[in-house]
Amino acid sequence: MEFEMVGGFDQTNLLISFSFILSLMIISRLRHILNEEGTLAAAALGLGVAIAGHWSWLLILLSFLGTGFAATRWRYDEKIEKGLHEGAEGERGWTNVVANGGVPLIVSIIAAVTGDWETMFPVFTVAVAVAASDTFASEFGGLDERVYMITTLKKCEQGMNGGFSPTGQLAAMTGALLIAVVGIGLGTLVGAESVAAPIEFILSITLIGFIGCQIDSLFGATLENRGLIGKGTVNALAIGSGALIAACLHPIIPL
């Protein structure tokens, strides 16, 4: 079967998308990835991404959800002891789903309105890469005691907004790279023109995703720590910033 990157109410797109969303809802509740409200929000958001964008876009988003949960559960007992955990078992709620998936949904809608899925594919992939980069940085880097404030480079407490660690920075790059690789694989499968230069695609998506994570830290240090905005807003702003960079500059590493 040959696939093409055209979203909408195409029968193949809908059939594949509904299958993935049903699997998401079942696995999410069985594995406690999301709570009940989070599962419903993810299903609705995922359906929007699949219809406006494409089922391959939904898979990129789901790859972030799965790997993000694995990162969250890493050394979870230690995170509980230090007060760095999410939920009772690492499950996330609807606010987290919207904060991380809202911008990808908007990008999908723009693709549907303009009918230009090709141009918006790397923008969508970057949006998810930023979310993955930030999640990996927090979950893998949160237990590293070598934490420094991004605005001053002075040592600060673990878990503090705007803090970064060597482990977290490496994890941030890994998270963005992971989504870039998933994107190149699915893009190749559906014949996306934007992945014709795979190395260029991977490097650009990874770098912009990593930059988005640093923007998240800056917003956390300058705005969240002052109580001006919340964590979800910081996430959304950082993801949106990454998407804008991709829309204006991708590829930023032309080879």
Q: What is the DSSP letter of 193?
A: G
CB 54 within 8 A of CB 6: yes
Task: Return the pLDDT at 1.
Answer: 45
At 40-93, the pLDDT tens digits run 999 999 999 999 999 999 999 999 999 998 888 888 788 777 776 665 555 788
Share of the chain above pLDDT 90, in %: 69
Task: Return the pLDDT at 251.
Answer: 81
Q: What is the DSSP letter of 194?
A: G
Q: What is the mean pLDDT of residues 240-249?
A: 95
The runs of H, that is alpha helices, within the chain are: 11-31, 36-52, 55-73, 76-82, 94-114, 117-141, 166-189, 198-219, 231-249
Residue 29 has pLDDT above 90, yes or no: no
- Using the Cα atoms of residue 15, residue 17, residue 21 and residue 24 in order, give the sign of their dihedral: positive
Domain boundaries, the chain: 11-249
Task: Return the pLDDT at 85.
Answer: 64
0.85 exceeded by the pTM? yes
CB 97 within 8 A of CB 38: yes
At 169-192, the pLDDT tens digits run 999 999 999 999 999 999 999 988
**Residue 32 is which amino acid?**
H
